[in-house]
Amino acid sequence: MLASLGGTPVRKKFLPYGRQHLDDTDIETVSNILRGDWLTTGPTVEKFESSFAAWNNVEYAIAVSSGTAALHAASFAAGFTSGDEVITSPLTFAATANCILYQGASPVFADVDPNTLCISPKEIEKKITSKTKGIIVMHYAGQPCEMDQVMSLAEEYKLVVIEDACHAMGSTYKGKQAGTIGHLACYSFHPVKHITTGEGGMVVTSNDEWAKRIRGFRNHGMSTNSRQRNKAGEWVSDMSDLGYNYRLSDFQSALGFRQLSKVNDSIKRRREIAQSYDKSFKKSNILEPITVMPENNPSWHIYPILLNLNTLSVGRKEIYKDMRAENIGVNVHYRPVHMHSYYKHRFGYLPGDFPNAENAYDRLLTLPIFPQMTDQDVQDVIKAIEKVSSHYIHKYRDI
């Protein structure tokens, strides 16, 4: 019997869809910085940036206060401004589109591929106009988009490509690391991401001028920071751009540096969990994982499934509630951006404008995946999804 109907839950303890993992060394690393001289704009920030750039195989990495700040800073560096259009996916967290608005430009959505749920290059090309300045691709769930086609469009139409790689740290596309293919890329270090700094983010690029602009942008548009002025024995700094306070602190950077040393093992474990799910759901007629392109090796920030609602007597809402009653912390990623009230009211979007994204949203469910999950945790998730979905498929057949 389902737990929601009075039965015994699959698990006694709630299993979240994602969570951070901090060990004693992580905590001690942060404590050492707190005992030191520099809590912000200090040497640990540069140490983290250098290590991240090397790990990601790019020239420059600029740490900022969040993944949203990273997207905003990248949009600033790319020169998006009033009158420009920037194409992006509707199936993403709102920040991917919001960063375009922050710059006074207009977000233009291009529908996703119904199988991969990544933005479709064919749909991108349909939306290109004389006003188009750039493309922000979002590597959904950690699966890179069709970057060869995207970059070909960018070259043809002279567009800047920003990779929203907040899901995709360590993912590869045709052997190339996500975040190294576009002109700029952005990462998030929120607690559920591959590494965490509490809140934090990173912009990476191999363009020297863009890197310089972003460093100023995160620091109120100033030409120098306090550590640089202290070292030079100077007090004057010039504000050359309108920037923001998007700095990442030294103790956050210390945590990020330490987490980076463990990220390869974390990604390996995420892939193992995804493979277990894939194997269990391979022959299911109730649900299906998203399609992974042969040239891709995702790092699986999230593990989304698509419910086959034709075989069920209820919708996603009931499955979601019953899974959580079984103490499995499923989630939904994402409500398409154009369906949020702000975007509907401002831009007049209507149901059916982006049918692939909307159809996916009705069916999407995110299953727990994080490196500290045990094999038993994984089996609990599989057992719960089978328990809940089979209840409704049997009920449906009896009608």
**Which string of b and e fits 106-130 if b means at least 16 CB within 10 Å?**
bbbbbbbbeebbbbbbebbbeebee
Q: Which is it for strands 176-177 and 296-297: parallel, antiparallel or unpaired?
A: unpaired
> 57: how many CB neighbours lie within 10 A of its CB?
12
What is the homologous superfamily of the domain 3-18+264-398 according to CATH? Aspartate Aminotransferase, domain 1 (3.90.1150.10)
Say what the pLDDT of residue 394 is. Answer: 52
> 237: how many CB neighbours lie within 10 A of its CB?
17
User: Which class for 375: exposed (0-12), middle (13-18), buried (19 or more C-beta within 10 A)?
Assistant: exposed
The residue whose two tokens read 């593990």 is: 303
Pair 141, 290: CB distance under 8 Å: yes
Say what the pLDDT of residue 80 is. Answer: 98
Range 24-260 classified under CATH 3.40.640.10: yes
| Spatial CA neighbour of 95 closest among 69, 121, 65, 62 | 69
Q: Where are the domains of the chain?
A: 3-18+264-398, 24-260
Four-CA torsion 187, 190, 196, 198, nearest 10 degrees: 130
Give just the sign of the alpha carbon dihedral 321, 323, 329, 333. negative
279: annotated active-site residue: no
| Spatial CA neighbour of 10 closest among 394, 389, 392 | 389
Q: How far apart are CA 391 and CA 386, in angstroms?
A: 8
Give, to the nearest 10 degrees, the angle between helix 316-325 and helix 375-398.
130
Say what the pLDDT of residue 281 is. Answer: 96
Q: Which is it for strands 184-188 and 201-205: parallel, antiparallel or unpaired?
A: antiparallel
* Catalytic annotation, pick one of 126, 131, 133, 193: 193
Q: How far apart are CA 100 and CA 214, in angstroms?
A: 16
Pair 45, 226: CB distance under 8 Å: no
Q: How far apart are CA 362 and CA 317, in angstroms?
A: 9
Say what the pLDDT of residue 229 is. Answer: 67
Distances (CA, A) of 5 to 2, 54, 330, 380: 5, 53, 18, 19
- Digit-by-digit pLDDT tens for the chain (399 residues) are 999 999 999 999 999 999 999 999 999 999 999 999 999 999 999 999 999 999 999 999 999 999 999 999 999 999 999 999 999 999 999 999 999 999 999 999 999 999 999 999 999 999 999 999 999 999 999 999 999 999 999 999 999 999 999 999 999 999 999 999 999 999 999 999 999 999 999 999 999 999 999 999 999 999 877 767 666 777 778 899 999 999 999 999 999 999 999 999 999 999 999 999 999 999 999 999 999 999 999 999 999 999 999 999 999 999 999 999 999 999 999 999 999 999 999 999 999 999 999 999 999 999 999 999 999 999 999 999 999 999 998 554 444
Dihedrals phi, psi of 164, to nearest 5 degrees: -80, 95
Q: Which is it for strands 106-109 and 85-88: parallel, antiparallel or unpaired?
A: parallel
